[in-house]
Chain A
Amino acid sequence: ETGVTQSPTHLIKTRGQQVTLRCSSQSGHNTVSWYQQALGQGPQFIFQYYREEENGRGNFPPRFSGLQFPNYSSELNVNALELDDSALYLCASSNNRAVNEKLFFGSGTQLSVL
């Protein structure tokens, strides 16, 4: 059983640029969610995808968008990067879209915006 894998592990961008982060879900999981974790804070919910459609979103602006593919892998896209976007971005998969029972998290992508 493979776990949740994210790429890249680290990324440095400049303000105003665009970035794409990638996630491969755990085998057999059909739901993926993305979280942003700033230094010293708990993870904050960005959105969730189930069967290639967004079915839940936190308090993040539209410049945060995503995709889920037929193989349940996922992308997080962030446009017009701001300094405050610097954070650890976590992907989590599960096999139940309504109840977040036992989310499996990847190790994250550390994004630095200069």
Chain B
Amino acid sequence: EDQVTQSPEALRLQEGESSSLNCSYTVSGLRGLFWYRQDPGKGPEFLFTLYSAGEEKEKERLKATLTKKESFLHITAPKPEDSATYLCAVQASGGGADGLTFGKGTHLIIQP
């Protein structure tokens, strides 16, 4: 069974204080690892897809990296508008249309 574990569950940072969110996964063949951002009362918003170990992607203050067992979402010099729940998900490379398996998320609060 595919599993995704995210840590920490919650993180409070000061504006400008860089940190990293962790996503550990077990999957029977990885088709893709995804990062989404979810604001209160809204659906998840796509951030990144990573396909193979060693891959990195960046967008503004966010950088996602991937190893064979985990992914990190690095946040550099965050701003209050970066406050949200960050969700990690995996898709297995099965033959059918497999949905995403999500973790519980990391609730990030950036204080001014």
Measured CB to CB, the residues of A under 8 A from B are: 4, 33, 35, 40-48, 50, 55-56, 58, 90, 92, 97-108
Contacts and interface: CB of A to CB of B under 8 A. Distances in A.
A45 B98 CA distance: 9
B100 interface: yes
Given A40-B104, A45-B101, A100-B91, A106 B96 contact: no
A105 B102 contact: no
Given A40-B104, A43-B44, A106-B43, A55 B97 contact: yes
B40 to A, nearest CB: 11
Interface string B85-112: 0010101000011111111110000000
A96 B32 CA distance: 14
A99 B96 contact: no
Given A56-B96, A56-B98, A100 B104 contact: no
A42 B32 contact: no
B97 A42 contact: no
Contacts of B87: 42-43
13 contacts: A4-B43, A40-B104, A42-B87, A44-B102, A45-B98, A45-B99, A46-B99, A50-B97, A90-B43, A98-B97, A103-B100, A105-B44, A106-B43
Interface in B30-47: 31-32, 34, 36, 41-46
Nearest to B46: A102
B99 A33 contact: yes
Nearest to B102: A42
A107 B105 CA distance: 17
Contacts of A98: 97
B4 interface: yes
